[in-house]
Amino acid sequence: MRFVVEPMRLGDIPTVSAIERLSFPQPWPQSAYRREILENRMAHYVVARVLDAPAPVRASAPEPQPQSADRTEDGLFGKLQRLLRASADPTSGGAEDRGVVGYAGLWLMTDEAHVTTIAVHPQYRGKHVGELLLLHLIDHAISVGARWVTLEVRVSNEVAQALYRKYTFKEMGVRRRYYSDNGEDALIMWTDPLDSEHFRRVLEQNRAALRQRLTEAG
């Protein structure tokens, strides 16, 4: 099974929205992603496409199952995101692209790259799609001159935390009752400096290992 990571297009939004509803208890409206793509110069959003297998069928009204990821909803980044979403009505976003099985986003502010969201369709979790998306975000952060990558993650999301720690993310604090759906705390995690020798070594080791796993998988 082969995957490719590409910039998110307007036509991807309906499928992204379907994965969003499967992944988060409070999904963004489709218009929020339209605004991110068209208006937010700080944002970088991508999708993962499956190249040689049918993507999952988009559900019309799935029950939320928040298992795959977390995203920023507080502090400066959260306030800016809420402003972007304010008074936004859902829109179609264009034709559905059934090849999309995951997506991710990053905001760059000064020298910090903030991961805003990562999610993978339930049928494709455990196939390294989330790691592939994270690796792309890190590469993009390096290419635009960021010095660190930071994010928030639910304290209960141990799977995501393990992936982040693999890429040198470390817990730097806790945001109490950060998630409004259930009042759960969030861990604040930061990478080592992106230009440090240790980080670059870890990054290339993980890249090679991921390439090997994806090759062995098909």
Task: State the virtual CA torsion across 155, 147, 140, 50 in degrees, nearest 10.
Answer: -20
If you write DSSP's letter for every residue of 151-205 in order, what string do you get?
EEEETT-HHHHHHHHHTT-EEEEEETT--TTT---EEEEEPSPTTSHHHHHHHHH
**152 a catalytic residue:** yes
C-alpha to C-alpha distance for 183 and 198, rounded to whole angstroms? 36
Q: Which of 164, 167, 178, 179 is catalytic?
A: 164
Q: Which of 45, 73, 152, 179 is catalytic?
A: 152
C-alpha to C-alpha distance for 34 and 152, rounded to whole angstroms? 23
Question: How far does the chain reach from its first CA to its final CA, in angstroms?
Answer: 5
Helices (H) and strands (E) in the chain, counts: 6, 7
Q: Identify whether the C-beta of residue 7 lies closer than 8 Å to the C-beta of residue 95.
A: no
Q: Identify whether the C-beta of residue 115 lies closer than 8 Å to the C-beta of residue 160.
A: no
Supply the Cα-derived Rg of the chain in whole angstroms: 16
CA distances from 161 to 95, 157, 167, 189, 205 (A): 34, 6, 10, 9, 19
HSE (side-chain half, CA atoms, 13 Å) at 181: 12
Residues with a catalytic annotation lie at 152, 164
